[in-house]
Structure 1
Amino acid sequence: MKHLIRSTVLSFGISLTVGAAWAADTVLTISSWAPPTHGMNAKLWPEFTKMLEEASDGRVSAEVKYGLGAPPAQFDLILDGVADVTWIFHGYNPGRFVASKIIELPGYEGNAEAASVAYWRAYEEYLATANEHDGVKVLAMMTHGPGILHSETKVTSLDDISGMKLRLGGGVSGDVGAALGATGIRVPAPKVYETLASKAADGVMMPMEARAGFKLFEVAPHSYSVPGGFYRGSFAIVMNQDKYDSLSDEDRAALDTIAGEALSQVAGRMWDEIDQIGIETIDGNEGNSWTEASEADVAAWNEMTGQIIESVLAEVSDKGIDAATVQAFIAEQMTGN
């Protein structure tokens, strides 16, 4: 996104003021939990605020605040009205957002922008009936780019992964780690660097953006990938329902024009942009490498994914959703974008 990011970062626990927040009639409080330099904070929230200000003719703006709650607590933080808007990673709350796992499955073709648009359409058409986001207003659904293995020592084959201790964020990444014979360690993304630096884990599964966004190039310099990624991470942007309802009819309408598919697409595009920044750290830092799976490992991986997909589809079907139909819908939407 090539626009002027109008923001002032102060420190954790203090707000990031974006755009014309001081002049607006309503200023939404955004709770965010990644570092201020992460794409969500450096790119997405400024763009969201710009879109909001333009749609509302400056009546509604937003400001980011850090330190309001841990990443797994963000959904409840919005339910309780501690903040007005946040982004949640569904995998941080095991068993709570089961339907979201369907977008995380391996095998989809397309980038994060295509996946995020397809995800929103699938959410509206099928997944919302699971009522997993009850109590909040869902503004967008999004995924990061393909999940990659990043490790301290170089991995050159799937067999190398067996026995490794890997930080896994939850959701399908946990299923993938288990299938590959790895021991999963679950910590939120902001804790990944120290987990790897302390040798508590041998590696991590995250998208390419994490090489830059979480400085993995320093502690996990080697990346290993399979076509389409091992998984895709599922996120939502959510808003306190009471805050949404308290807006004037005009301001709610303004927010509605930028939410949904439009915001999902902007968010997915942001993830693609920061993936590219992460890729650039490979050539920019001595000792960093990227190994793509061999043809034999791709064949082995494709065979392995069958059981993972079957298991997840069964989980989602238990929520009263025709999971196979949704999977096919997402695949078709992604290739059609």
Structure 2
Amino acid sequence: MNKFVKLAAAAAVALTAGTSAFAADHKLTISSWTGPGHGINAIMWPNLIKMIEEATDGKVTAEVKLGLAPPPAQMDLVMDGAADMTIIFHGYQPGRFVGTKLIELPGYEGNAEAASVAYWRVHEAHLAALNEHRGVKLMGLTTHGPGQIHSNKEVQSLADLNGLKTRIGGGVAGDVGAELGLIGIQVPAPKVYETLDSDAADAVAMPFESRKGFKLTEVAENVYEMPGGFYRGSFAFLMSQETFDSLPADLQKALAEKVFGEPASRMLGAAWDEIDNIGRAATEETEGNTITVASEADQAAYAEIATKVTAKILAELEAAGVDAQAAYDMVKAEMAAQ
């Protein structure tokens, strides 16, 4: 049994019974929208539940439920009280989030763990004032690994991307796609397999973890890899503010000090790195799958595009009231320090 199958099996147990072996005083409901074997459900939620249980001496636990709402509706689902916790991808709700685009910019050097820690720290210093997660309790912020182009057509250069029908999740990936000449198709991540399998799209912009998590090895045999990635993706793990406020003060304190914020963000980023490695290994092991690394000339050409996209996004942040250059510089400095 390989590592990913073991993770999926463990997730199945967690999804049906939770991870707690004891009777907790507070059992919370988690709404999650990826499949049971995806790393979010196989690693991230079980790890977060474990952190919550350990911090509260078993008084608080949770269980994951799937299919409660589509990805763009998750935050509202929690705000309406239909679930206690969830994960959101900020790019699924255009116009609702601006500050979150900062971490999605291309050109950052470092893995998802370093980026997620930097993300939380820059949020506290520069982005929290935007209050973009108002109405919910922010448990952690994270970003997946470098986003790449996965296609069912051969892609050997940047020029080959022009006119390619590509599923793009939103956020900065959309700005990048426009600069590359991609024809953007927006569907939630759980729909990428059928979108590619039906030839409704030629390609998808996602990190390496999706090779395994969304079975892209079967429907997108080619990966065009830009060192450092074309973009990253921003996620938040949220708890209902009403649920948090209903907990006894000592449990609120334990969660705030031992779980929420940087500890959760670091764990989540490390999990993204782990499943990225699994996805890359699956690609290398699957017959017919190829990884084409962008040439030095294409890397230089994309660096110019990245500079243009970065300037656009920093202008958006500045207009929202953020000291954009200081925030951008802080992300790079914090990532370098990890």
TM-score (norm 2): 0.96
> Measured at CA, do residues 128 and 284 of structure 1 come closer, stay the same or move farther in structure 2, by a change above 3 Å?
same
> Measured at CA, do residues 5 and 226 of structure 1 come closer, stay the same or move farther in structure 2, by a change above 3 Å?
closer
Please give the secondary structure, in 1, of the residue aligned with 2:149.
strand
1:33 corresponds to = 33
> Whose helix proportion is higher, 1 or 2?
2
Please give the secondary structure, in 2, of the residue aligned with 1:200.
coil
2:198 corresponds to = 198
- The residue identity in structure 2 corresponding to 1:177 is G
Deviations 1:114-138 (CA, angstroms, capped at 9, x unpaired): 0000000011111011111110000
2:302 corresponds to = 301
- Once residues 17 and 204 of structure 1 are traced to their aligned partners in structure 2, the CA distance between those partners, rounded to angstroms, is 34
1:226 corresponds to = 226
| Matching of residues 1-337 of structure 1 within 5 Å | 7=10, 9=12, 15-20=15-20, 23-256=23-256, 257-337=258-338
Q: Tell me by how many angstroms 1:6 deviates.
A: 9.1
Q: What is the RMSD computed on CA atoms of the aligned residues?
A: 1.8
- Once residues 89 and 125 of structure 2 are traced to their aligned partners in structure 1, the CA distance between those partners, rounded to angstroms, is 21
Q: Tell me by how many angstroms 1:17 deviates.
A: 2.5
> Measured at CA, do residues 275 and 5 of structure 1 come closer, stay the same or move farther in structure 2, by a change above 3 Å?
closer
Q: Tell me by how many angstroms 1:8 deviates.
A: 6.3
Please give the secondary structure, in 1, of the residue aligned with 2:170.
coil
Please give the secondary structure, in 2, of the residue aligned with 1:88.
strand
> Measured at CA, do residues 183 and 97 of structure 1 come closer, stay the same or move farther in structure 2, by a change above 3 Å?
same
TM-score (norm 1): 0.96
**Alignment coverage as a number of residue pairs:** 334
- The residue identity in structure 1 corresponding to 2:67 is G
Contact 2:143 2:235 in 1 (8 A): yes
Contact 1:6 1:18 in 2 (8 A): no
Please give the secondary structure, in 2, of the residue aligned with 1:9.
helix
> Measured at CA, do residues 81 and 326 of structure 1 come closer, stay the same or move farther in structure 2, by a change above 3 Å?
same
Contact 2:114 2:266 in 1 (8 A): yes
Please give the secondary structure, in 2, of the residue aligned with 1:126.
helix
Contact 1:167 1:205 in 2 (8 A): yes
- Once residues 86 and 318 of structure 2 are traced to their aligned partners in structure 1, the CA distance between those partners, rounded to angstroms, is 28
Q: Tell me by how many angstroms 1:15 deviates.
A: 5.0
- The residue identity in structure 2 corresponding to 1:165 is K
Which has the larger displacement, 20-29 or 237-246? 20-29
> Measured at CA, do residues 59 and 4 of structure 1 come closer, stay the same or move farther in structure 2, by a change above 3 Å?
farther
Q: Tell me by how many angstroms 1:9 deviates.
A: 2.7
- Once residues 70 and 92 of structure 1 are traced to their aligned partners in structure 2, the CA distance between those partners, rounded to angstroms, is 10
Q: Tell me by how many angstroms 1:22 deviates.
A: 5.8
Please give the secondary structure, in 1, of the residue aligned with 2:16.
strand
Please give the secondary structure, in 2, of the residue aligned with 1:62.
strand
- The residue identity in structure 1 corresponding to 2:246 is S
- Once residues 147 and 128 of structure 1 are traced to their aligned partners in structure 2, the CA distance between those partners, rounded to angstroms, is 25
- Once residues 15 and 262 of structure 2 are traced to their aligned partners in structure 1, the CA distance between those partners, rounded to angstroms, is 28
Contact 2:164 2:183 in 1 (8 A): yes
Taking every aligned residue pair, what percent have the same amino acid on both sides? 55
Q: Tell me by how many angstroms 1:82 deviates.
A: 0.7
Deviations 1:135-175 (CA, angstroms, capped at 9, x unpaired): 00000000000001000012110000001010000001011
- Once residues 251 and 233 of structure 1 are traced to their aligned partners in structure 2, the CA distance between those partners, rounded to angstroms, is 31
Contact 1:6 1:46 in 2 (8 A): no
Which has the larger displacement, 17-26 or 245-254? 17-26
Contact 2:8 2:38 in 1 (8 A): no
> Measured at CA, do residues 225 and 139 of structure 1 come closer, stay the same or move farther in structure 2, by a change above 3 Å?
same
- Once residues 241 and 208 of structure 1 are traced to their aligned partners in structure 2, the CA distance between those partners, rounded to angstroms, is 33
- The residue identity in structure 1 corresponding to 2:12 is V
Unaligned runs of 5+ in 2: none
Deviations 1:213-235 (CA, angstroms, capped at 9, x unpaired): 00000000110111210000000
- Once residues 181 and 187 of structure 2 are traced to their aligned partners in structure 1, the CA distance between those partners, rounded to angstroms, is 19
Q: Tell me by how many angstroms 1:316 deviates.
A: 1.2
Q: Tell me by how many angstroms 1:255 deviates.
A: 1.2
- Once residues 141 and 31 of structure 2 are traced to their aligned partners in structure 1, the CA distance between those partners, rounded to angstroms, is 17
Q: Tell me by how many angstroms 1:58 deviates.
A: 0.8
